[in-house]
């Protein structure tokens, strides 16, 4: 299952992505560590491989739909974007994303966000997609806004990073936002 807008291709991650994911995380650690609990100074290729091994079952169970973001021309691994924390009753999911730091400024996360949101609405039948990001994570907040998400407010003590909770900005997308 691939989704593309011409510049990027989204596809489910495969085991062969392991070294590319590891390399992208290495060049992006300074930007990822403050906001992504999974990224830490000791991040290793084994962490990438363990994550990749967990994905097929999560996808089959409808719990987590992750995509590798691939440059359509160079085939470079650019980052990841996906849907998780899926509530089947309310048809709501959380959308997360990250782009390798040496490719920032190309609107890649915004393009990936829109493709994943389309997948969520069209393939999964979601009614609402939430983007929850650290209140002071201005890069992620800009992506949400450029993707057409509506800012709904600041949620106190909503995200856990390490051993502390931080306030979060809540954005949402509904199908009409993409039309």
Annotated domain spans of the chain: 3-178
At the fourth CATH level, the homologous superfamily of domain 3-178 is Gcn5-related N-acetyltransferase (GNAT) (3.40.630.30)
- Could you tell me the mean pLDDT of each successive run of 10 residues in the chain, 179 residues long? 76 94 94 89 93 93 95 94 96 97 93 96 97 96 97 96 93 92
Q: How far apart are CA 54 and CA 84, in angstroms?
A: 13
Is-above-0.85 flag for pTM?
yes
Q: How far apart are CA 174 and CA 67, in angstroms?
A: 20
């Amino acid at each position: 299952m691939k989704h593309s807008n011409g510049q990027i291709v989204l596809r489910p991650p495969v085991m062969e992505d392991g070294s590319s994911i590891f390399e992208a995380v290495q060049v992006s650690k300074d930007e990822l560590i403050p906001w992504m609990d999974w990224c830490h100074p000791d991040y290793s290729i084994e962490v990438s491989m363990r994550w990749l091994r967990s994905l097929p079952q999560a996808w089959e169970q409808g719990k987590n739909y992750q995509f590798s973001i691939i440059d359509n021309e160079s085939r470079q691994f650019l980052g990841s974007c996906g849907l998780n924390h899926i509530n089947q009753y309310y048809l709501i999911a959380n959308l997360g994303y990250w782009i390798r730091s040496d490719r920032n400024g190309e609107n890649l996360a915004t393009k990936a966000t829109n493709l994943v949101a389309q997948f969520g609405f069209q393939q999964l039948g979601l009614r609402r997609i939430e983007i929850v990001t650290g209140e002071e994570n201005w890069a992620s907040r800009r992506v949400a806004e450029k993707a057409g998400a509506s800012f709904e407010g600041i949620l106190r003590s909503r995200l856990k990073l390490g051993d502390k909770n931080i306030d979060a900005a809540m954005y949402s997308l509904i199908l009409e936002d993409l039309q």
